[in-house]
Amino acid sequence: MRLIAFALGLFAFVAVFLLVLRYTTHLSNVKKGRGKHPAAPTVPVSYDSPMTGEDL
Partner 1 sequence: MAVRMENGHGGQAVHDERIDPQANANLAVWLGLVALTFMSAVFVASNVYLRGWNPSKFTLNNRLLTDLPYWDTLLLIVSGVLVLVAAAFFAKDRWQAFNAVLALAVLSWVATALIQFRLMLWFAGYSQQIKTIDWPTSMIVFGLTFISAVLIAIAGWYASFANKAKVNAFFPVAMNVWLYTVMFGIVVLLMERVLTVGQFAAWCGLHA
Q: Which amino acid is at 50?
A: P
User: Quick one: which of 36, 34, 38, 56 has its CA closest to 47?
Assistant: 56
Shortest spacing between CB 44 and partner 1, in angstroms? 7
Backbone phi and psi for residue 13, each to the nearest 5 degrees, phi listed first:
-60, -50
Asked whether position 23 contacts partner 1 by CB under 8 A, the answer is: yes
Cα 8–chain centre separation? 28
Asked whether position 52 contacts partner 1 by CB under 8 A, the answer is: no
Asked whether position 35 contacts partner 1 by CB under 8 A, the answer is: yes
- Site residues, partner 1 (CB under 8 A): 2, 13, 16-17, 20-21, 23-25, 27-28, 30-31, 34-41, 44, 46-47, 55-56
